[in-house]
Structure 1
Amino acid sequence: MEAGYINYEHRIVRESLRKFLAKEAFPHFEQWESQGCIPRSFWKQLGEQGYLCPWLNEEFGGVGADFAYSVLINEELEKVGTGLIGIGLHNDIVVPYLAEYGTVEQKKKWLPKCASGGIITAIAMTEPGAGSDLAHIRTSAALQEDHYIINGEKTFITNGIQADLILVVCKTDTQTKPPHKGISLIIVERNTDGFSRGKQLHKVGLHSQDTAELIFEDAKVPKGNLLGEEGKGFYYLMDKLQQERLIVAIGGITACERMLELTIDYVKQRHAFGKSIASFQHIQFSLAELQTEVEIGRAFLDRTIEAHMNGDEVVKEVSMAKWWITDLVKKTASTCMQFHGGYGYMEEYEIARRFRDAPVAAIYAGSNEIMKSIIAKKMGLN
């Protein structure tokens, strides 16, 4: 059943995107997985076709599209592979910060290239000693005349190798109490003196998604690259993290649907003891249970998306969706791989890649334990 927020125009865009991906992404994705990144040429193609930040105003290269466009773009990219998650991060997580908190000059300078594929973005929050506890990050930015001097390290940064523009979460005031009031967001450009990238990180899954360490050693950044106001960074992050978690949930439910589709097809074709294994009651019941949970997850997610589009406060619901759906991704991947038997463990079968890619969704954008803490707080349990 199609969600109520999807209309005729959305369906046309989805069909067009499917045709584009069938030609430009599906045939090449395994190569991208092997080489460890999505080529910049593909980003440029996405931009040329209007699939990068379509929600931006026309003056900045978008078409003023609603969030439903973001939903369907993320769904169709996920069907190719979870390793394309960096495109959703660029479209719906990083660039919205620039669009909402940037100055007119910053928007004119960067947003059109974000929409064309000329600029790839990243956000640098996590540090070797600080993940979900953002208030205690150690990366500092000291103002000296007309520049900030940034020192620190970031890790697990999605798009870290290719990013041209990085939104760095740092402390502009290391003495203030409580510590989160000292956090600011500063934009660091590719060729900044004192900024370097560490090694590309080798992950269990998401092989085509470049993930890296970032190093700032007296990195000299113009004062004009401050995003919004000093000391407001934590509040900006809390405001935007909800859409980030919603994007993760959208990818997660799509991954579940794809894995079920693969497995249902496989068990119908696979025979054992003289009959299709789809006729075994255990397999029938297990897949029936998964199908039910996935459809429940999809219904709850669609309701939450609609509320988000209406501007409602959905912190609790987004946290629920992110936790429950990404746990379901792991459960679905494990069951579906098992039902593929030995073939499920072979790299040439898509289910093997899906199994590798599944666990991280419960970790990034705030671990599922953090999601449960947020839900408990919204229930008045703190």
Structure 2
Amino acid sequence: MVKKNTSSDDMKNQLLELLRFSSRSEGFIGRQLKTDHKTVKKIITGLCKEGHQIEERKGYYFLVLNPRSEFHVISTSDHESRSVATSKFLLTGDFQLGARDSQVHLIKTIGAVAKKEGVDSVIVAGDILNGMRVFRGQDRGENRINNIDGQEALAVSILENIEVPTAFRDGNHEAPTWIAVGHNPMWSVYKALVYEKQKKNFTFVLPAHPYYEVNGIIVELAHPYKGQTQKKTYGPINALTKRLGSFTMVTRNKLDLIKSNMQNGGSALGGSAGGLGQNIKPHIRAIGNMHTCVSAIHAGVAFYLVPCLQKSTGFERAKELWHQVGIWIVSVSINSLGRVCGVTNKYIPWDHLTREHNEEEIALHSRIDEECVLRRPD
């Protein structure tokens, strides 16, 4: 009969108890355990091999992530050998279709880019349409298509060319339009794609539950109610600027934005169109309406501010507000515990490809504006 070596285990448990609430010197630990310095080091090394995080600083040992109520042996080899799922996404949004400055020629290429890059899914983080009566005077200059049927028809004609699974949501431009015209324009676009065009690869994500899952990887499609222009022009509005200062400083110090967002469960971005603050923790948080490009990883979440596909309007240029035009191509991997274990980012800038609408596009907008060809199924 082999006698178990319980004295070593007892010493380990005693040492963990000593470090649970405070850092301790090697001498103090040795006196409490009634052993020598060499044995103390041996015990600490053994605990580290079992997965406990014990660090030394200026002669004092402390337990990382303490206090803990229970301690379990962690086999790192088991974690490394478990399966990993990886998915590739194209992140885009803020097309503002129907607007004078919407870059239709770039939006039309999304399907081809998605195919070329081999993405598993396209994520559109809101504001596909520019909408109607979003703000006063919108129909007197900003909109090229001044009716919602025409904007919906243009959206359907572009989106139907995307072959890969695609998730989209509405944004702050569609929400006021719903009130103005009496129906949800993005629901009409979704029905036209799925029922009329028989495009089963589209998913309409509702703001109340803005999550989309691909191979176990959860994507949150977020769209804060106030965008870049309002935050810069009208001063601190909503939780984002109240917590973090001006939008310029937020994009300059992205870590503050990530930390605030994670610590507040997503509520730092707020807004009636936001759909944040849920209990579900996503692996990717794609946030539209900021018309800029920022990425970071924090607390196991890959975080992206999604650039737009619309030039700065004349008003915005007068205020020296410049949109970033482009798309994200991102690959995210998770392990068998459902945690992000790898991220690869590729940003494709299209600022140099923006242009004023040519005569062909102006004619297209004018024809759609007049015809309003979209028929909504009952």
Higher helix fraction (1 or 2): 1
Same fold (TM over 0.5): no
TM-score, normalised by the number of residues in structure 1:
0.22
Higher CA-based Rg? 2
